[in-house]
Amino acid sequence: MMEPGNFEGMKQKLSDKEVMVRALNEIKRLKHRVAALEHGGAEAVAVIGMGCRFPGGSSSPEKFWQLLMAGRDGVCEIPADRWDVDAWYDPADFCVDKMYTRHGGFLEDVLSFDHEAFGISAREAAGMDPQQRMVLEVCRDALGDAGVHDYSLLAGGATGVFIGAIANDYFQRFVDNPVLMDSRTGTGNSNSVLAGRLSFHYGFTGPSWVVDTSCSSSLVALHQACQSLRAGECSMAIAGGVNLIMHPTRMVALCRARILSPDGRCKTFDAAADGYGRGEGCGVVVLKRLSDAQRAGDVIQAVVPGSAVNHNGHGSGLTVPGVAAQQAVIEAALRMAGLKSEEVGYVEAHGTGTALGDPLEMEALCHVYRKTSNQKLVVGSVKTNIGHLEAAAGVAAFIKAVMMVRNGEIPAHLHVKTPNPHIPWDGMPVIIPRNAQMWPDYAEKRIAGVSSFGFSGTNAHMLVQES
């Protein structure tokens, strides 16, 4: 808190307007601190920077927003630089060693990397998993978006790094051809180094680790980043996730389990939902405690008032979604945030586009939201635009939510022609936005919920609020 004597001394050097602005910022900070104490110490977290590489040419949050508001589909055919698509493709869904899809949400030119900018030799860079390269680049973008350009100011600081990741496809090239290995193959292809290399490069000394809870990995990483900030373990946090599809074997395995959609698209909440379309990308956000961000004069893009993580426990199957657990994790996030369910105007659903998962998720949402209100909840999923980014799915949904609460607009939810007949729409107070629309006019403040559920059974829900 600002000492009275210091404040009086500053008045001599500052204009009346500047004094007023600083005083108002201090009042806001103290109000948020009081609110945090009233809610059990769960201080809100500020989003001060974002960076991304998502399908459809979404190389920045602004380009991503343009894709969403234009209602564009970023799914394409598997790029020729990944593998021989024809050799691995068979449209029959019973083939044991082929894939029945040749589409997904893919990025362009994932192997390019300015290694010199990060002090890495060409030889070491060639053996590095492109996921490590991309995390470095997208983190740099996010820091720039946060107004950080002199990286020396970060060295030795208690910045934490929390990255969600699942895939390790690039290492398969060394398994297939061991002669390519050298002394740095291990570090270049270890998922733990996705976080460790960031901390090493910038000199961060806060917590640094990688999260793997399957498809909920990056939202769980964001939750852990917020918790670490609240606990005082770090003063700033870098959080997000990455997923690149560099080898065909995982595609074959998912097709063998009949999990993927033949056309490579997530037709979430539609009668034609027949599995998910794989996607790839990377998203990174820069976070601070709200009071610290206000004191530093950071541009606050959105606020995270609360989040929660849980597990399905012992259910009807390891990978079967748990309705009760999904309800519980949403309710826990609302309690942490000190919010009522009717204050949330939109939910970014996990929404993979599966016959089993979609109805169960909608059941859980409608149990929690709008049960005491006649106002309808808007529900959508970014997976209909860019596919299911697996480990990076949660951060893609989060960045979309931040852009929505900032801009007061909701993009269209794609690929809904005939609503899923297994969802009792008449009894559910929800709207699926088939066209872009403005934020619901009944909302006093723009607040969105973001859900992410892993087939490991780990669920996450996060609230995102306008600043």
Q: Which pLDDT tens digit goes with each residue over 105-133?
A: 999 999 999 999 999 999 999 999 999 99
The two three-digit tokens of residue 122, written as one number? 């060409």
Residues 351 and 323 in one domain: yes
Domain span at residue 439 reads 302-465
For the segment 68-72, the average pLDDT, to the nearest whole number, is 97
Residues 191 and 263 in one domain: yes
**In-domain check, residue 112:** yes
- Residue 28: pLDDT band (50, 70, 90) is low
Catalytic residue among 223, 388, 413, 415: 388
Q: What is the pTM of this model?
A: 0.90
pLDDT computed for residue 317 by the predictor: 74
Q: For residues 396 and 398, what is the distance between their CA atoms, to the nearest angstrom?
A: 5
| Four-residue CA torsion sign, 452, 378, 73, 403 | negative
Q: Which of 306, 463, 338 is nearest to 398 (CA)?
A: 463
Cα diameter, the chain = 78
For the segment 305-330, the average pLDDT, to the nearest whole number, is 89
**In-domain check, residue 297:** no
Q: Which of 290, 320, 342 is the last residue of a domain?
A: 290
**In-domain check, residue 295:** no
Cα-flanking dihedrals φ and ψ of residue 336, to 5°? -60, -40
With a cut of 70, say whether residue 314 has pLDDT above it. yes
**In-domain check, residue 334:** yes
With a cut of 50, say whether residue 1 has pLDDT above it. no
Residues 109 and 10 in one domain: no
Q: For residues 398 and 393, what is the distance between their CA atoms, to the nearest angstrom?
A: 9
| Backbone Cα Rg of the chain | 22
**In-domain check, residue 150:** yes
Residues 26 and 59 in one domain: no
Q: Which of 85, 463, 140, 413 is nearest to 302 (CA)?
A: 463
Q: Is 350 a catalytic residue?
A: yes
Residue indicated by tokens 């007061």: 408
Residues 138 and 242 in one domain: yes
With a cut of 60, say whether residue 54 has pLDDT above it. yes
Query: What SS3 class is residue 31?
Result: helix
Query: DSSP readout, 115-142?
Result: GGGGT--HHHHHHS-HHHHHHHHHHHHH
Residues 34 and 50 in one domain: no
Chain centroid offset of residue 393 CA: 6
Residue indicated by tokens 């799915």: 393
Q: What share of the chain is helix, strand, coil (3-state, %, to 5)?
A: 40, 20, 40
- 465, 363 contact by CB (below 8 A): no
Q: Which of 267, 290, 313 is the last residue of a domain?
A: 290
Q: For residues 189 and 170, what is the distance between their CA atoms, to the nearest angstrom?
A: 7
Residues 254 and 149 in one domain: yes
Q: Buried b / exposed e across 296-326, counting CB within 10 Å, b at 16+?
A: eebebbbbbbbbbbbebeeeeeeeebbbebb
Catalytic residue among 32, 103, 139, 215: 215
Query: What SS3 class is residue 159?
Result: strand
| Three-class HEC string of 363-405 | HHHHHHCCCCCCCCEEEECCHHHHCECHHHHHHHHHHHHHHHH
pLDDT computed for residue 3 by the predictor: 47
Q: Which of 256, 290, 324 is the last residue of a domain?
A: 290
Cα-flanking dihedrals φ and ψ of residue 238, to 5°? -105, 120
With a cut of 90, say whether residue 2 has pLDDT above it. no
Query: Domain count of the chain?
Result: 3
pLDDT computed for residue 111 by the predictor: 92
With a cut of 80, say whether residue 370 has pLDDT above it. no
With a cut of 60, say whether residue 16 has pLDDT above it. yes
Return the beta strands (E) in 195-332 as ranges. 208-211, 236-243, 281-289, 302-311
Residues 374 and 413 in one domain: yes
Amino acid letter at 360? L
Cα-flanking dihedrals φ and ψ of residue 309, to 5°? -135, 140
**In-domain check, residue 64:** yes
Residues 214 and 269 in one domain: yes
Residues 32 and 49 in one domain: no
Query: What SS3 class is residue 432?
Result: coil
pLDDT, tens digit, for every residue of 201-213? 999 999 999 999 9
Domain containing residue 348: CATH number: 3.40.47.10
**In-domain check, residue 263:** yes
Q: Which of 462, 382, 448, 369 is nearest to 414 (CA)?
A: 382
For the segment 292-321, the average pLDDT, to the nearest whole number, is 91
Residues 280 and 364 in one domain: no
- Residue 31: pLDDT band (50, 70, 90) is low
**In-domain check, residue 22:** yes
- Residue 4: pLDDT band (50, 70, 90) is very low
DSSP state of 237: E
Residues 400 and 424 in one domain: yes
Catalytic residue among 103, 223, 247, 350: 350
